Amino acid sequence: MSTPESSLKTLAIRLKPEVHAQLSFIAQLRGKTINDEGLLAVTGHIAQAKTDPVLLAKADQARQEIERDAAVRRDAIASMFDTGSTAESGDTARPARSRRPQKGDDTTPS
């Protein structure tokens, strides 16, 4: 049976007892759970990471590499299965093999 929480991922972290006590007290003062406070910390960390120029540059490099890899794979698939087009790399596609004559064809081999 599916529950709304079934699509959530679990993250377990180890905290020193004093950090856990502080986090627990903060959550209590705010009327929240430790989980709520942890989510606030993680979402804040992600928001900060999105503005980090070094991380943004690394993310852009990763995106470019993914796009290059995808282009190579796309071209490989095209060269295997696209018989009527030319691969982007300038290689010509192989001509399609002629099909075997089928029963009832007018051009049966003699």
pLDDT at 8 over 50: yes
The answer, yes or no, to whether residue 85 has pLDDT greater than 90, is no
Inside any domain, residue 69: yes
Note whether residue 106 is domain-resident: no
Any domain includes 107? no
- Check whether residue 46 and residue 57 sit in a common domain: no
Residue 38 domain boundaries = 22-51
Number of domains in the chain: 2
Q: How confident is the model at residue 99 (pLDDT cuts 50, 70, 90)?
A: low
Residue after which a domain boundary falls, among 51, 66, 92? 51
Has residue 35 been placed in a domain? yes
Q: Is residue 98 part of a domain?
A: no
Asked, for residue 95, whether it belongs to a domain, the answer is no
| Residue 97 domain flag | no
Q: How far apart are alpha carbons 78 and 87 in whole angstroms?
A: 6
Q: What is the mean pLDDT of residues 60-73?
A: 97
Confidence of residue 16 (pLDDT cuts 50, 70, 90): very high
At 6 the pLDDT is: 79
Q: Is 17 within the bounds of a domain?
A: no
pLDDT band at 87 (very low <50, low <70, confident <90, very high): very low
User: What is the average per-residue pLDDT within 92-100?
Assistant: 54
